[in-house]
Amino acid sequence: MMKNNFLKEIEEKLKKEKEEIEAQLKNLGGMSGVNNTFPIEFPNFGGKEDENADEVSIFTDRLSLGVNLEKRLKEINDALSKIENGTYGICEKCGSKIDEKRLKAFPTARYCVKCK
């Protein structure tokens, strides 16, 4: 069983990162794809060919960044759920305890070093 202080430290770190990611997604105009929580809007610079190319380029960049941010947000939410239900720090493959050093470096780790 993990120490309460360690779990509180990890939980605070995850919640802070979650807030930062949600703010980034909102600043992007959100995200479209994974769960449509933060829909990304297509920019509109005008009707000229070069303006259209810029719109597509910016949208593609935003979409790619949004997908990565939302993937990270899901990992964080999964880890927070595990803390809440008492399964945090347990390897999903072998069921053994994940080393605290690994969790401190990678708080969303789902597997122990051996199974990774």
The domains of the chain are located at 4-88
pLDDT in tens, 39-69: 555 555 555 555 556 655 666 666 778 888 8
Residue 14 pLDDT: 98
Instruction: Check if the beta carbon of residue 115 is closer than 8 Å to that of residue 93.
Output: yes
Instruction: Check if the beta carbon of residue 40 is closer than 8 Å to that of residue 32.
Output: yes
Query: Which of 54-58, 90-94, 101-105, 110-114 is the least confident region?
Result: 54-58
Instruction: Check if the beta carbon of residue 26 is closer than 8 Å to that of residue 37.
Output: no
pTM of the model: 0.73
Terminal C-alpha separation, the chain: 21
Neighbours of 76 (CB within 10 A): 21
pLDDT in tens, 24-37: 888 776 544 444 45
Q: Beta partners for 90? A: 97
